[in-house]
């Protein structure tokens, strides 16, 4: 019985695997952001809202009617590119 409890409480993954996995996931996300820079706007459905009366449409103030917002990773990539371009001058 004690051997069963001891065997079930032993973790087989080492912390080193997480240090290898984190950069792979980060690079994968940044590649995804480079290919697909916009995500769907979470505040509206397609960029427009109905007015309070329900008869008229108005543009979403968060995405300005485009229906998409820049991903955080794309903002990071743009910031890194801007910093690199300024350093070259």
Q: Are 38 and 70 in contact (CB under 8 A)?
A: yes
Give the pTM. 0.63
pLDDT of residue 11: 58
Per-residue pLDDT of the chain (89 residues; tens, 9 = 90+): 555 555 555 556 677 888 889 999 999 999 999 999 999 888 886 666 666 676 777 778 888 888 888 999 999 999 999 999 999 87
- Dist CA 67 CA 44 (whole Å): 7
State the helix-helix crossing angle for 72-88 and 15-35, rounded to 10 degrees.
80
Question: Are 27 and 35 a contacting pair, CB within 8 Å?
Answer: no
């Amino acid at each position: 019985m004690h051997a069963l409890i001891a065997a079930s409480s032993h973790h087989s993954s080492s912390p080193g695997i997480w240090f290898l996995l984190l950069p792979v996931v980060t690079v994968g996300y940044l590649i995804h952001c480079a290919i697909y820079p916009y995500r769907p706007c979470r505040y509206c459905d397609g960029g427009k809202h109905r007015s309070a009366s329900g008869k008229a449409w108005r543009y979403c103030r968060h995405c300005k009617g485009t229906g998409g917002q820049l991903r955080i990773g794309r903002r990071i990539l743009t910031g890194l590119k801007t910093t690199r371009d300024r350093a070259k001058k």
